């Protein structure tokens, strides 16, 4: 199975604006909460938006603002989103919906943020300890009323959980099923402290499927650029999905390097199960984990890259010209993306070997 054809690489980039949040959910991988102080300065956010807008003459089309809770500071969110819109970005925001206690509240907030064209509302058993599902329903209503696109993100450790099923049933009563996205609760960050309470189903091989999240890197308040917003952000900067730091070099340099990052594109095209297959094929099977979380592509990446021996073996394997050529031409075949072929001059290598 490969990634979707309508989700091209580097057409969207994220800014994690703040670690501040109105709640401190027990499953939060970034450990956001009211006590957190770290946030992206307005000046740096504008600078990085400018750099994103200039990249390859406007190649990046979407800007996703996340946290923490971006709505925590409404004036700042309004300024940043309106600036990004003027730069030509389609702006989306991830939120817990705390601001939508009533329909009137939800409508007033969204009407004051005209530059935001899509909202992603998060809800689940964890969020609902502080923010009722009614807020999400109000947010959906206000999004429809103001002509915004929206989706609802729901986390669970087990899709057989009765509370999860009840939430899904209620959401089906107010929204189309295609707008609801389910993710598996991952034991990283604050969730790691509650790992013993999680009831994941485990399987012997990583879940099959490519990772769409790896199409959209995220800039964190400290300038780190990570290939996705998944749990790999918590690993050291030595892992291949750490792309660089925009305080230390230009965003253009970081993204150009990402275009030829072989591990990143294996994950995009095939998913982490392809990395496992490569390791087995080249005699590294004994290093592999014995089990993985079912329906959780993140778990494959995290388990492989958090083991220094496996990460080192993968980096060595992915230096092979033959493997690089396969990855590059898979990108051409599945996504019509030829930058890896041209940047690494793999077309010339191919011609010489005829």
How large is the average pLDDT for residues 280-300? 96
The pLDDT value given to residue 354: 38
pTM to 2 decimals? Answer: 0.94
Instruction: List the beta bridge partners of residue 149.
Output: 118
Bond from prior residue into 68 cis (ω within 30 degrees of 0) = yes
The average pLDDT across 214-233 equals 95
Q: Work out the pLDDT band at 303, boundaries 50, 70, 90.
A: very high
Residues 230-269 have pLDDT tens digits of 899 999 878 999 999 999 999 999 999 999 999 999 999 9
pLDDT in tens, 175-188: 999 999 999 999 99
- Give the pLDDT confidence score for residue 5 in this predicted structure: 41
Q: State both tokens at 294.
A: 């079912």
Which residue in this structure is represented by tokens 């900067």? 237
Percent of the chain whose predicted confidence (pLDDT) is above 70? 96
Over residues 138-151, the pLDDT tens digits come to 999 999 999 999 99
Share of the chain above pLDDT 90, in %: 90
Q: What domains are defined for the chain?
A: 12-200 (3.20.20.70), 262-352 (no CATH)
pLDDT value, residue 7: 64
* Mean pLDDT calculated for residue range 161-167: 95
Give buried/exposed letters for 232-260 (b at 16+ CB in 10 A, else e). bbbbeeebbbbbbebeeeebeebbeebbb
Residue 352 pLDDT greater than 90, yes or no: no
pLDDT tier at 86, thresholds 50, 70, 90: very high
pLDDT at residue 2 tops 90:
no
Question: In terms of C-beta density within 10 A (0-12 exposed, 13-18 middle, 19 or more buried), how is residue 149 classed?
Answer: middle
pLDDT band at 350, cuts 50/70/90?
A: very low
Where residue 136 falls (left for φ over 0; alpha for ψ -120 to 50; beta otherwise) is alpha
* pLDDT given for residue 292 in this prediction: 96
Q: Is residue 152 pLDDT above 70, yes or no?
A: yes
């Amino acid at each position: 199975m490969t990634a979707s054809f309508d989700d091209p690489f580097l057409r969207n980039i994220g800014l994690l604006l703040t670690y501040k949040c109105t709640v401190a959910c027990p499953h939060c991988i970034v450990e956001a909460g009211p006590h957190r102080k770290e946030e992206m300065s307005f000046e740096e956010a504008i600078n990085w938006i400018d750099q994103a807008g200039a990249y390859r003459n406007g190649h990046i089309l979407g800007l996703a603002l996340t946290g923490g809770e971006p709505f925590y500071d409404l004036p700042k969110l309004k300024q940043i989103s309106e600036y990004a819109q003027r730069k030509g970005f389609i702006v989306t925001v991830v939120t817990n919906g705390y601001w939508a206690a009533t329909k009137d509240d939800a409508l007033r907030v969204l009407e004051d943020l005209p530059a935001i064209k899509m909202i992603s509302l998060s809800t689940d058993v964890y969020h609902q300890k502080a923010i009722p599902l009614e807020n999400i329903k109000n947010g959906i209503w206000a999004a429809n009323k103001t002509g915004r696109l929206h989706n609802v993100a729901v986390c669970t450790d087990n899709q057989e959980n009765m509370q999860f099923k009840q939430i899904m049933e209620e959401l089906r009563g107010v929204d189309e099923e295609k707008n609801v996205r389910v993710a598996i609760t991952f034991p990283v960050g604050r969730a790691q402290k509650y790992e013993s309470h999680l009831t994941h189903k485990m399987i012997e091989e990583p879940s099959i499927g490519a990772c769409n999240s790896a199409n959209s890197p995220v800039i964190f308040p400290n300038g780190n650029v990570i290939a996705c917003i998944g749990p790999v952000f918590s690993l050291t900067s030595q892992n291949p999905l750490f792309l660089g730091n925009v305080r230390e070099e230009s965003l253009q340099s970081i993204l150009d390097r990402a275009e030829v990052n072989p591990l990143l594109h294996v994950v995009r095209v095939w998913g982490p199960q392809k990395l496992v297959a490569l390791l087995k094929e080249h005699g590294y099977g004994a290093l592999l984990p014995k089990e993985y979380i079912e329906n959780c592509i993140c778990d494959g990446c995290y388990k492989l890259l958090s083991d220094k021996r496996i990460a080192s073996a993968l980096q060595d394997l992915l230096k092979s010209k033959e493997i690089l050529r396969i990855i590059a031409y898979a990108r051409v075949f599945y996504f019509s993306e030829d930058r890896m072929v041209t940047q690494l001059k793999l077309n010339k290598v191919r011609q010489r070997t005829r």
